[in-house]
Structure 1
Amino acid sequence: MAGIKAKMKVSDLRRALKALSQKELIDIIIKSYQSSDDIKELLLMTFNADEALEELFKKYKTQIKDEFFPERGFGKLRLSQAKKAISSFKKITGDEGLTFELMLYYVEQGVDFTNTYGDIDERFYNSMLSMYEKVIEQCNKNEDLFKAYKERLEAIVIDTEGIGWGFHDALEYLYYSIEWGEEEE
């Protein structure tokens, strides 16, 4: 069976929703809620943001951790799943600060994984470097963010000493590219 190819623009959706009664809208929202975990989380954030934010952060942080160090067995190292957790969290919550925290946590888990199990492959290191670079870009835009995370950012570089594929050197280069410099406080 071929996939559904019909698409609806947001403007068309808006027009169709405006034509519905309140009861019909409620029914659509309830059906959507029952059929999709993403919609459940989105509605949870909409109606109960404070409690939901903490709960969702823990959920997505656990998803990242489980790709590297699950409760049982060995990590599957599905980097796309770990990165999807970050993007899903950002999309659902819109919380830039906690999204930054998840991005940094992703790199920390990757470094811990390498230090635990030994050298991985170039694809793995490129993924870690790409995420670390995004973290550094945000730090370059916000000195307070850099100051708050400076020790963790530096620890990543220190913890990669001796890791192959130029990984340590690239992380070190990115870290020292931060525009706020090493001024004494």
Structure 2
Amino acid sequence: MSLLKVTELKKQLKTLDNKELISIISEIYKISPDAKKYLSVKFTGEDGVNDLYEEAKAKIEDEFFPEKGFGKLRLREAKNAINKFKKLTGDDFKVVDLTLFYVENGVDFTNEYGDINESFYDSMERAYASVVRWCSEEEDYYRHFADRLQNVVINTDGLGWGFHDGLSDMYYSLPWVE
């Protein structure tokens, strides 16, 4: 099966009347969970964004600290929650918040259970670097996240693989940090 290109899809959609468009969109809504979330955000606005934010935050936390048992530490699942939120909402500020939350959970997990492995720390550093980039470009972001950014560095003191040093270097590269 060959998939339609966006230009062809638009061409086909233009031939339909409102009733046919409503029918197609309703069917898509019923069969695709992502479409349901996307359309909910489109029509409910900030409430929909907040619901998806809380859902993503819960998925991230569950990978590190589930209500029962031990964290599975499936970093890909946690990062997918962030990426899906970003695709569905386009809310950059909350994406930065979720990314920092991911790092905070990683740091808390390490402090709770001990040293992990290099790939774990690399993932945390890449996520922290992403937050630092946003905060370097948007002073309002930095002002909002400043305490959390600093606490991540403080809470990594003594952790392995050069993790603390890497995060510390990134933190002190921010133009507003003294």
Q: Please say whether Structure 1 and Structure 2 have the same fold, judged by a TM-score greater than 0.5.
A: yes
**Could you tell me which amino acid in structure 1 is paired with residue 50 of structure 2?**
E
Query: Which amino acid in the other structure matches residue 42 of structure 1?
Result: Y
Structure 2 match to 1:107: 103
Q: What is the number of residues matched between the two proteins? A: 178
Letter in 2 for 1:78: R
Q: Which residue of 2 aligns with 1:83?
A: 79
| Residue aligning to 1:157 | 153
Q: Distance in 2 between matches of 1:181 and 1:125?
A: 23
The AA in structure 2 aligned to 1:167 is: F
Q: Distance in 1 between matches of 2:39 and 2:140?
A: 32
Identity %, equivalent residues: 49
Q: Aligned match of 1:29 in 13, 17, 25? A: 25
Offset at 1:119? 0.7
Is 1:128 the equivalent of 2:149? Answer: no
- 155, 159, 172: which one pairs with 1:176? 172
Match runs of 1:5-154 below 5 Å:
6-154=2-150
Q: Give the distance between the partners of 1:62 and 1:81, measured in 2 at CA.
A: 12
CA RMSD after TM alignment: 1.0
Question: What secondary structure is seen at the aligned counterpart in 2 of 1:61?
Answer: helix
The residue type paired with residue 19 of structure 1 is T
AA of the residue aligned to 2:137? K
Q: Does the 8 Å CA contact 2:53/2:94 hold for their aligned counterparts?
A: yes
1:9 shift after superposition: 1.2
Q: Distance in 1 between matches of 2:42 and 2:68?
A: 34
1:16 Cα deviation (Å)? 1.0
**Cα deviations across residues 135-165 of structure 1 (Å, max 9, x unaligned)?**
0001110122212211110100010111101
Is there any run of 5+ residues in structure 1 with no aligned partner, and where? none
Shift of 1:22: 2.0
Q: What letter corresponds to residue 132 of structure 1 in structure 2? A: Y
Deviation at 1:51, TM superposition (A): 1.6
Query: In structure 1, what residue type is equivalent to 2:65?
Result: F
TM-score with structure 1 setting the length: 0.93
